[in-house]
Chain A
Amino acid sequence: MLSRSEIQSFLTEHPDFDDISNGMRSAARFPNKALLKETRKVVALARKFNKEVVIPHALELDRKKQEEHDYLPWEFVQKANEWGFFTMWIPRFFGGRGCSFHSMFYFIEEIASQCLAMANLIGVHYLGAGALFCAWNIRVCNEIFREVAEGEKHEAPCLITAATTEPGAGTDCEETELLDKGTLTCRATRVDGGYRINGSKIFISNGHLSTWHNVVCYEDPERPSETAMLCLVKTGADGFSFGRQENKMGQLACPASELIFRDCFVPDRYVSMNNLQMSGLRGGEKGKTREILSQFFSASRLGVAAFGVGAARGAYQKALRFALNTEVSGKLLINHQWAQNILAEMYKNVASSRLSYIEGADVNGIEGMLRPVYNKPLFYIFKYYPFHWMKPIVNRMLESSLTTRIFRKLQLEWMTEDQLNRNAGWGALAKFMATDAGMKNSHLALELMGQAGVRHDREAEKIFRDAKLLQIYEGTNQLNRQCLFESFIGRHYPQVRVYEHES
């Protein structure tokens, strides 16, 4: 038999057993029955929403956007708000409906399987929410999320964006090691009572439709990793305006916007993270920026993976429907052996990619950004405690700086390097695996459908246009491969260098 120390030693050999056993580890820790029950309900709800809202309007909306570039899909936003989707995954103590993030990824897959743009329109709101979460400023979270909840109650949708990308910096914004080499220009200058922001952001999904914008800016753009800060800017604020809606190939119902800041004043109240707030925490300024970026992308990339699975599944479903109903060379296409195997390949792409985002969600729930809500006792408290009865007390607690400090200690200081890497690695793996699958299946669907595949009214060509964006945003798939290499492979070998200039 092996001793404890021998077991430990063997299990930490590459590949570290903890890196490859997330599902088993989470099974032992998660409130599985409750999670399953909730996820089943959420998936059923997503399917009902697809049937009643998404499917009847997806093609029409895509066509309308091609005809009328500046059109904004407010009716859809209103519908999603009515159905409660903008508070569904906001914790109950912030006024939301408090569903688990596992159910969100399944939900995204469902909607994305029918329309990636509409799924993005809902999902990107949670990208904005994620940008709020990852700074762990509980007071700001409480204020903004409560406004989202009020917006739901009063039929005035309140959406949030995450504004990171700049004209000169795409990939550079998404990796701390590249940040200091990038051309970043969004500057925050300290003034009485807050900051003034100057600069612009591009490709911001949902920009024109959102109320609050999480803007990443830099007190010194020459030293971005040490001076990065996050602040909230509200639509309509002085000095803030929208530029053009980008002219995209696909995902048309979800506008990508340019945000322009000219001496835009942000009061201290809406600075959710800066060096001053983070002082006293271990790791230094650069370390905190790295940790926050890492936690953010570890979670957000799982969402993009779920989009990818949705795209792969949508393409598979369109191809299957075509094969079942179309006669080719004297018999139904579904009865040609080669077509059966293409469909099997497509099914495999969907199923295997889904496993990757579930594995990623598991590790995130055990030891990533999402862990506070997956702890069994906390899960049940967050799910069933009557927060609304005790709103004044809860609010006072959430607005206390001590609460923010505790969360930051827990989330930003007590996370080990191994845990950070595991989360980042699985986020990256799921992202590029699933989005590559989305693109692969889109290609296969169009090949199988021939002439019908290239027609807008047969739905498959839209998936092809929509899916391509998934390989680009939230870090190109090349960057995500680097992230996986660094997280799972490179970290075991001291001689490894990444992002080193080679010529």
Chain B
Amino acid sequence: MEKIVLPDIPGLSDIEVYKQNGGYQAIKKALGTSSDEVIDVVKKSGLRGRGGAAFSTGLKWSFMPKSTDKPKYLCINGDESEPGSFKDRQIFEFNPHQLIEGIMIACYAIGSNTAYLYIRGEYYKWIKLMQKAVDTAYENGLLGEKMKETFGTDFHCNLYIHAGAGAYICGEESSLMNSLEGKRGYPRVKPPFPAQNGLWGNPTTINNVETLTNVPKIIEKGWEWFSAIGEPKHPGTLLFGISGHVNKPGVYELPSGTLLTDIIYKYAGGIPGDKKIKAVIPGGSSMPVLRGDSIEGVKMDAESLRAAGSAIGTGGIMVMDEDTDLVKVLARISKFYHHESCGQCTPCREGTGWMEKLLHRMVEGHGSKRDLDLLVTVAKNIEGNTICALGEAAAWPVKFMVERFRDEFESKMSDHVQHEMPNEVHSMRHTQNPIAPVTL
């Protein structure tokens, strides 16, 4: 099977090797056609966003206004903070120029001259690697004003890297824009959508890193070629990051619709000690968990996973063997979402805190069966009641894990119930930690 995003070509991160393998030819081809034609090709290819929502990329691009006096922007989401996903860093490290070329084509398609690549701050090494690749592209006249000369057109675009500073929520597109503007990363109310009112109030498109890395190959080989790979409704290859209890964890690029069991057993080498699988989270920690006894025949694409009762998310597969304590796992997941809730919406700010506390009590062995119902009630009161999807991301793991593993959770509840739980109001992000006195 041919790999699109991470081909097995040694030294591909070097611009010369990339060029020898047909690099920076797709942008040339795209510039020879109209931007509408580029959008049309990407639309027909069936490419869908790889950041979690799996929305049609071509359709998203077509939402950008054609006639406007305002500057248009492209943001590329490389915040990659979903627990269980570690795919974009492979692109930064092993195929940065294909990403840059994809960004150039996207800029041309939506009529933008400025692109910002947002990379999470903790990716110290990968920010440097990516900056080096961008600098090289500038030196080779592939970005900036020199682009006009290189390609003989009047189109040009600039690409800047903006590093985050540690906040999961900034992977949410409107939060990412606020963070890019130098503010606290609070998600914005939608509508208005970014295509109308995005960065500094201007039309903006936000695409995932992996999504755009697919684009040059689609332009080069045509939409027919791409749409024939994998599942017709969610075509192409996906980067599956598999972690947890498997022998060979890592990122595997495979056609969409690959069997989950094939990824676990054929590619990731099965479970250490040949243990049974208790649970699998197929798309990063916020996606609904699947029972190990229900993964037979489940295919990894948006539609198949929805039918199986979960979602594709970022393709981050977390495998848990039969000895895993799911109460502890869920407690850790809830701790994460409480830590990362931005504090803007009450149901999420308060609810994530309550879920963490209840689960902590269960881990300590003082949870009651009534607590389980309370836990699910809190989750359901968050879901659908928040500005952004972090509400669902926090609620789903709780709701589905308790529902699908009710037997295990109940068996761990105690009759010795501790009813006292301090009824304190949760404070905003991070202020629950002691802060050193600031003298202003």
Q: Is A bound to B?
A: no
